[in-house]
Amino acid sequence: MTPTEPAEQYYDLSKIRTGSRKLFDFVSQGHSKHFQVDQSRLLPTASYIADVIKENYPDLLIPIHSRIRHFPTAYLDLYNADLEAENIEKLRRQFELIITSVLLDGGAGPRWQYYDKKTKTYLSRSEGLAVASFNCYWNGIYSPRSDNPFYVDGDVINSLTEQELYSQFQISDGNALVGFSSRIKLLKDLGIAIKSSQSFFHNGSFRLGHLADEILSLASDNIISMSVLFEILTTNLAKLWVREDLPKGVAGDIWHHTALESSTNPLGLIPFHKILQWLTYSLLEPLENFGITVVDKTKLTGLPEYRNGGLLVDMDVLRVITMPPIQETLDISSELVVEWRALTITILDKLKPIVETCLAIDQPIDLSMGQFLQGGSWSAGRKLARELRADGGPPFKVKLDGIVF
């Protein structure tokens, strides 16, 4: 790490859009070996997204994109009622459920299923992971207290065995979950993080839910900026994604692209922080329901993952110059995938106002990015993928590790 490259720049939300725009310009100018951008396809794509929004939310009362959207109604009732406690304790519990659930929400792959006894249905992908992780918290597997299952303790989470989690996620030889060993390591690293940061220490104990106390302590007159909120999350959680190919002091969803190398960015790195942004979106509702106003929410970007990015490929906004062989699995660090994710962020910014115009009939519509994703681009990407491919997966295979993408 050079003096002109402080680690903090990789956790600045504005750098995500800046780097993504540079790669968008690089591709638009015809320099990419992987993609071409066809901006004439923006309007048809926006129209498709608008139709999906009207199908999902005909009254246009769209909630923000959040982990709790993946919980079936029966679980939302539990979330709103049985998790409830007095004042700050309710917020701590909501934080613990959402954080552990989001961290386990990397792509599950097309084959894994989870049988939910409550709804008597088989669930897969995000919904299956949501219910499985909800039950982990509900059943108290992270808690050291027999009288209170709703508690995430660092020592307990770090001592969980692979077999215990196999059982919780119903994993077997015929029901494999992509990246399961990586998910276990992520949980254990979370346990270490809880015990090593004062942000989790309150009332004489280290607990994941005490991150809520830390955030509240930094609010002024019940107002906190998105920059401060995201800084708290990255400071305490980005270390869960340490990689040897990143400079010392830098960790997280940060990748290299040759086209980004410059005097101000000699390492050519671009941050995405998809999971941490997804977590931030998911924590907004409990914070706001508690009475905290989060300002500058527009600093969060669209999420650079395969539902949003897949939509752009499937709608021909992004044309792949040379489609990878069907048997090839792309590494998330490959320049093709890095470009794809950066292009997704910039193009989502371009699509949102066009979608708003498509939806505006009697009066202007102003969607937050969280509403646009929920309504929205993520739902449209999943719907189209299911129509085009039997497994409903992305347009090309990406090596899913279960903890980033």
pLDDT (0 to 100) of residue 111: 84
Q: Is the pLDDT confidence value at 143 over 50?
A: yes
pLDDT (0 to 100) of residue 28: 98
Tens digits of residue pLDDT in 296-347: 999 999 999 999 999 999 999 999 998 888 778 899 999 999 999 999 999 9
Strands (E), 152-239: 201-202, 205-206, 223-225
Mean pLDDT of the chain: 91
pLDDT (0 to 100) of residue 1: 43
Q: What is the percentage of the chain residues whose pLDDT exceeds 90?
A: 71
* Largest pairwise CA distance in the chain: 62
**Cis ω for the linkage preceding 376 (within 30 of 0):** yes
308 to each of 123, 201, 380, how far by Cα in Å? 21, 37, 8
Gyration radius of the chain over CA positions: 21
Strand partners, 225: 295
> Would you kindly state where each structural domain of the chain is located, as residue ranges?
7-388
pLDDT (0 to 100) of residue 265: 92
Q: Is the pLDDT confidence value at 83 over 60?
A: no
Residue count (the chain): 405
Q: Is the pLDDT confidence value at 78 over 90?
A: no
Contact 199, 238 (CB under 8 A): no
pLDDT (0 to 100) of residue 84: 57
Contact 143, 205 (CB under 8 A): no
Contact 1, 247 (CB under 8 A): yes
Tens digits of residue pLDDT in 370-400: 999 999 999 999 999 999 999 888 998 888 7
pLDDT (0 to 100) of residue 288: 94
pTM of the complete model: 0.93
pLDDT (0 to 100) of residue 180: 82
Tens digits of residue pLDDT in 331-343: 999 999 999 999 9
Pick the residue with more confidence: 74 or 110?
A: 110
Q: Is the dihedral angle over the CA atoms 116, 121, 125, 130 positive or is it negative?
A: negative
pLDDT (0 to 100) of residue 346: 98
Q: Is the pLDDT confidence value at 217 over 80?
A: yes
d(Cα 103, Cα 168) in Å, to the nearest integer? 15
Phi and psi torsions of 327, nearest 5°: -85, -10
Contact 370, 284 (CB under 8 A): yes
pLDDT (0 to 100) of residue 2: 46
Q: Give the closest residue to 146 by CA, choosing from 156, 154, 132.
A: 156
Burial of 190 (0-12, 13-18, 19+ CB in 10 A): buried
d(Cα 70, Cα 97) in Å, to the nearest integer? 13
pLDDT (0 to 100) of residue 402: 65
d(Cα 366, Cα 372) in Å, to the nearest integer? 10
Contact 46, 355 (CB under 8 A): yes
Q: Give the closest residue to 257 by CA, choosing from 101, 6, 99, 265.
A: 265
Tens digits of residue pLDDT in 104-116: 887 777 789 999 9
Helical H runs in 321-400? 335-359, 369-372, 378-388
d(Cα 185, Cα 180) in Å, to the nearest integer? 9
d(Cα 47, Cα 359) in Å, to the nearest integer? 9
Pick the residue with more confidence: 4 or 331?
A: 331
Tens digits of residue pLDDT in 162-211: 888 889 999 998 998 888 888 888 899 999 999 999 999 998 999 999 99
pLDDT (0 to 100) of residue 9: 87
Q: Pairing relation of β-strands 35-37 and 318-320?
A: antiparallel
Residue type at position 189:
D
Q: Pairing relation of β-strands 113-116 and 35-37?
A: unpaired
Q: Is the pLDDT confidence value at 158 over 80?
A: yes
Phi and psi torsions of 137, nearest 5°: -70, -45
365: tokens are 């519509």
Q: Give the closest residue to 136 by CA, choosing from 230, 233, 208.
A: 208
Strands (E), 50-107: none
The structure tokens 């660090």 sit at: 333
d(Cα 182, Cα 355) in Å, to the nearest integer? 37
Q: Pairing relation of β-strands 293-295 and 269-271?
A: unpaired
Tens digits of residue pLDDT in 25-53: 999 999 999 999 999 999 999 999 999 99
d(Cα 100, Cα 137) in Å, to the nearest integer? 8
The per-residue DSSP string of 111-153 comes to S-EEEETTTTEEEEHHHHHHHHHHHHHHTTTT-S-TT--S---
